Amino acid sequence: MERFRAVKCPDISAHLAGTKKVQQVLPRPGVLDRFFPDQPQAVQQIRATLADLYTLDMAG
């Protein structure tokens, strides 16, 4: 058991990465390329691990 009194919570980037909207947008063409412009193989490997998520609203 820990004796530390600090509140443990993820940073904002970890929290956002877990949201369904971010997970829905990442597999779209060009999105990962913005973050890894000189690493097409990394983009391909990351994209291979992502599943397509679909929204129920008409806005997408």
> Domain range holding 32?
12-49
pLDDT for the residue numbered 38: 95
pLDDT of residue 8: 74
Any idea what DSSP says for residue 36?
A: -
- Whether 36 and 43 have beta carbons less than 8 Å apart is answered as yes
The residues of the chain scoring below 70 in pLDDT are: 1-2, 58-60
- Total number of domains constituting the chain: 1
The pLDDT of residue 44 is: 93
Tell whether 18 is covered by a domain. Answer: yes
Establish if 28 belongs to a structural domain: yes
Sequence-ordered list of residues with C-beta below 8 angstroms from that of 53, at least 6 positions apart, any chain:
20, 23, 24, 27
Cite the DSSP H helix spans in the chain: 12-17, 20-25, 31-35, 40-49
The answer to whether residue 7 is domain-embedded is no
The predicted structure's pLDDT at residue 22: 82
**What per-residue confidence (pLDDT) applies to 59?**
65
Are 50 and 27 contacting, i.e. CB atoms less than 8 angstroms apart? yes
Residue 27 domain flag: yes
